[in-house]
Amino acid sequence: MPEITSILKERRLFKPSAAFSKQAHIKSDAEYQRIYKASVKNPEAFWAKQAAEHLDWVSKWKKVLEWKPPFAKWFIGGKLNASYNCVDRHLLTHRKNKAAIIWEGEPGDTRTLTYAQLHREVCRMANALKAKGLKKGDRVCVYMPLVPELAIALLACARVGATHSVVFGGFSAQSLVDRINDQGACMVITADGGHRRGSIINLKQAVDEALPKCPTIKTVIVYQRTTGEVPMKEGRDFWWHDVVENASSVCKPEPVDSEHPLFVLYTSGSTGKPKGIQHSTAGYLLGAAYTSKVVFDLKDSDVYWCTADIGWITGHTYVVYGPLANGATVVMYEGAPNHPEPDRFWSIVEKHQVTILYTAPTAIRAFIKAGDDLPACLLYTSDAADE
């Protein structure tokens, strides 16, 4: 119907400036087409080259790809560690004291972790997990708010060779039951709660409700995010700050096979039983690192913010593994995009000097509805301060 305008049919092209193209990783459409054609013509050679350039290996692979539809195995015989690739290797470069994570909580509290500090916290948590009996091949359910400790927990699991499975903090106790039992997880890492739209989401309460139906869980580690009291079951539940207090900040990363399961992430279950998708270490990590670099044109000087929750695959790939593998500075925000005011995203961009913002169409529609006044006001204030 010609009288109805569909905004889903977008055919406009917005060409970058010559200055932007000159400094980009991929400088033109012609260069992109050459790279794309090379990847299609000889994918094994293409990805072998990327694997050598973008990842550090304990031992090199013997075969790039074994493809038996619908199953693919990448970099067969190779060994590496995802935690090492996201943290340790940057300590040998100028990035050691560079900000790895800039975090802002919904109430307005902030923290910054350099790569050296992130390494220390990941190692301490990894040692704490091992002290609680976690070992290579075990599965861990992670159910946390969007705090730096969520990324630390994932990297600590990867460091010891355990497979993590993040459950979105907005999901129910039954969602935990379904996912924990399906994978046979032995541990839950959670928090007492998290902040969302001015309220506290009681995560530990949901865990306590779920665990009577989860016989494989032996240990629960609880990060203290709020000031509320939560029940702690003796012998099963332990505070995060207690288990890491005396843990060593030295923890050698466990080499794992290229096809070792890095994590399992479940579908939402809105159309049936949740389905667990396994992501293997090398192939996933390379895809995350390479696309983070070239799609976002990610550079050392950038402050990069992906607004996705880590409970989703976008958050895994473009908040944690991809940017950190590139040594980027990543912004994390705990709460709702319009709390307490519709300009919350813009204020975070301004405060932390974000140079790359990756967000969702839903958020963009909300920005459009809120109008141009809020970002324009921030821009005006910034310009005035510069003068």
Structure confidence by residue, pLDDT tens digits, 4-58? 666 667 788 889 999 999 999 999 999 999 999 999 999 999 999 999 999 999 9
- The rounded distance, in Å, linking the Cα atoms of 221 and 169 is 15
What confidence score (pLDDT) does residue 35 get? Answer: 97
State yes or no: cis peptide before 70, omega within 30 of 0: yes
What confidence score (pLDDT) does residue 368 get? Answer: 85
Q: Tell me how crowded residue 4 is: count the other CB atoms within 10 A of its CB.
A: 5
Residue 379 has pLDDT above 60, yes or no: no
Structure confidence by residue, pLDDT tens digits, 270-310? 777 899 999 999 999 999 999 999 999 999 999 999 999 99
**291 token code pair:** 């696309």
Q: Which residues make beta-bridge pairs with 277?
A: 265
Q: Residue 67 — very low, low, confident or very high, per pLDDT cuts 50/70/90? A: very high
CATH architecture of the domain with range 51-336: 3-Layer(aba) Sandwich (3.40)
Residue 377 has pLDDT above 90, yes or no: no
Report, in this order, helix, strand and coil percent for the chain, each rounded to 5.
40, 20, 35
Q: Which residues make beta-bridge pairs with 186?
A: none
Structure confidence by residue, pLDDT tens digits, 115-157? 999 999 999 999 999 999 999 999 999 999 999 999 999 999 9
Question: What backbone torsions phi and psi does residue 348 show, to the nearest 5 degrees?
Answer: -70, -45
- The rounded distance, in Å, linking the Cα atoms of 234 and 79 is 39
Q: Do 65 and 44 meet the contact criterion of CB atoms below 8 Å apart?
A: yes
Q: Using alpha carbons only, what angle is made at residue 375 by residues 328 and 361, rounded to the nearest 5 degrees?
A: 65
- The rounded distance, in Å, linking the Cα atoms of 16 and 27 is 10
**93 token code pair:** 């470069």
- The rounded distance, in Å, linking the Cα atoms of 164 and 137 is 10
Residue 254 has pLDDT above 70, yes or no: yes
Give the pTM. 0.94
**219 token code pair:** 């240990």
Enumerate the domain spans of the chain. 51-336, 338-387
Q: Do 195 and 106 meet the contact criterion of CB atoms below 8 Å apart?
A: yes
If you count them, how many residues does the chain have?
387
Contacts of 105 (CB under 8 A, 6+ apart): 147, 195, 334, 335
Q: Tell me how crowded residue 245 is: count the other CB atoms within 10 A of its CB.
A: 10
**207 token code pair:** 């865990």
